[in-house]
Amino acid sequence: MSAIKKKGKMLNATNKLKNEMGRHFLAIEQAYRDGTPTAWATAGTPVEFLYTMDVQPMLPENSATISAALKKSQNFIELAETEGFSYDLCSYFKTNVGAVLSNANMSVGGTRKPTFMLSSDVICDTHVSWFQVQAERFNVPHFTIDVPHIVSNTTNRQREYFKKYIIEQLWELLDFIAELTGHEYNPEKGREVALNSYELGKIWQDVFELRKNIPCPVSTRDTFGGLFPLFTMTGLESPIKLYKHMYREAKQRVENGIGALENEEYRLMFEGIPFWYNLKFFSNLERWNAIIVYEPYVYAFTKYTNPNITKEMVINNPVESMAELVLSFWYIYDLETRVKMFKETVKDWKIDGVLLHDNLSCRPNACGMYDLKRKLMEEADIPSLVITSDMNDPRKMNETQVLNQIESFIEILRERKKS
Amino acid sequence: MFGDPTLDINTANEHIPPNHCIWAKNLLEQAIKGFDDDFKGIIATHGCDCTNREFDIWLECVNLEFFYFLNAPLKRNEAALKFFIDDIKELIIQLEDKFNVTITPAKISEAIRLMNKIRNLLRQISDYRSNLQIKGSDFHSLVKSVQKMDKGKALEMLKSKIDELKSHNLQSINKLKKILLTGSVIDDTEFIVFLENLGFHIIIDDLCIGTKYFWHNVDEAEEPVKALAKYHLSKPIYSTKFPSYKRFEIIKDLARQFNVDGVINIAQKFCEPILYDHPYFSKKFKELGIPYLFVEMEYNRESYKQLTTRFEAFKEII
Position B305 in a domain: yes
Over residues B67-87, the pLDDT tens digits come to 999 999 999 999 999 999 999
Position B66 in a domain: no
Residue B242 pLDDT exceeds 80: yes
3-state secondary structure of A67: helix
Q: What is the extent of the structural domain holding B153?
A: 71-317
The one-letter amino acid code at A301 reads F
Over residues B267-295, the pLDDT tens digits come to 999 999 999 999 999 999 999 999 999 99
For B193, the enclosing helix (H) or strand (E) is: helix B189-197
Q: Tell me whether residues B79 and A165 touch, CB distance under 8 A.
A: yes
Position B10 in a domain: no
Q: How many CB atoms lie within 10 A of CB B101?
A: 11
Distance separating alpha carbons of residues B71 and B84, to the nearest angstrom: 7
Helix boundaries (H) for B259-300: 272-288
User: What pLDDT is recorded for position A379?
Assistant: 96
Q: Tell me whether residues A366 and B20 touch, CB distance under 8 A.
A: yes
pTM of the full predicted structure? 0.96
Position B98 in a domain: yes
- 10 Å CB burial of residue B77 (0-12, 13-18, 19+) is middle
Q: Tell me whether residues A149 and B280 touch, CB distance under 8 A.
A: no
Over residues B113-148, the pLDDT tens digits come to 999 999 999 999 999 999 888 999 999 999 999 999
Residues in A touching B275 (Cβ below 8 Å): 85-86, 88-89
Distance separating alpha carbons of residues A418 and A42, to the nearest angstrom: 46
Q: Tell me whether residues B242 and A334 touch, CB distance under 8 A.
A: no
End-to-end CA distance of chain B: 35
- Collect all residues with Cβ–Cβ distance below 8 Å to B93 and sequence separation of at least 6: none
Q: Domain holding B237: CATH number? A: 3.40.50.11900
Closest Cβ–Cβ partner in A136, A152, A364 for B49: A364
User: How far apart are the CA of A148 and the nearest CA of chain B, in angstroms?
Assistant: 6
Nearest-by-CA chain B residue for A335? B56
Residues in B touching A388 (Cβ below 8 Å): 17
Distance separating alpha carbons of residues A29 and A39, to the nearest angstrom: 13
Distance separating alpha carbons of residues B309 and B293, to the nearest angstrom: 12
Best residue in B56, B67, B83 to probe A by mutation, most A CBs within 10 Å?
A: B56
ipTM of the complex as predicted = 0.96
Q: Tell me whether residues A125 and B49 touch, CB distance under 8 A.
A: yes
Position B19 in a domain: no
Closest Cβ–Cβ partner in B53, B79, B83 for A368: B53
pLDDT, average across residues B217-238: 97
Name the nearest CA neighbour of A58 among A22, A24, A92. A24
Q: Tell me whether residues A370 and B15 touch, CB distance under 8 A.
A: yes
> Phi then psi for B60, rounded to 5 degrees?
-75, -40
User: Do A246 and A206 contact (CB within 8 A), yes or no?
Assistant: no
Position B12 in a domain: no
Q: One digit per residue, pLDDT tens: chain A, 419 residues?
A: 444 455 678 999 999 999 999 999 999 999 999 999 999 999 999 999 999 999 999 999 999 999 999 999 999 999 999 999 999 999 999 999 999 999 999 999 999 999 999 999 999 999 999 999 999 999 999 999 999 999 999 999 999 999 999 999 999 999 999 999 999 999 999 999 999 999 999 999 999 999 999 999 999 999 998 999 999 999 999 999 999 999 999 999 999 999 999 999 999 999 999 999 999 999 899 999 999 999 999 999 999 999 999 999 999 999 999 999 999 988 889 999 999 999 999 999 999 999 999 999 999 999 999 999 999 999 999 999 999 999 999 999 999 999 999 999 999 999 999 87
pLDDT, average across residues B252-278: 97
User: What pLDDT is recorded for position A5?
Assistant: 53
Best residue in B49, B91, B233 to probe A by mutation, most A CBs within 10 Å?
A: B49
Domains held by chain B: number: 1
> How confident is the prediction for chain B on average, in pLDDT?
95
User: What pLDDT is recorded for position A3?
Assistant: 46
β-pair partners for B45: B70
Closest Cβ–Cβ partner in B69, B73, B282 for A146: B73
Distance separating alpha carbons of residues A291 and B213, to the nearest angstrom: 54
The one-letter amino acid code at B157 reads M
Best residue in A125, A131, A336 to probe B by mutation, most B CBs within 10 Å?
A: A125
User: How far apart are the CA of B185 and the nearest CA of chain A, in angstroms?
Assistant: 18
Position B32 in a domain: no
CA distances A191 to A45, A48, A231, A312, A319, Å, are: 17, 10, 19, 10, 10
Q: Tell me whether residues A366 and B79 touch, CB distance under 8 A.
A: no
- C-alpha triplet A396, A402, A407: angle, nearest 5°: 175
Position B159 in a domain: yes
Residues in chain A: 419
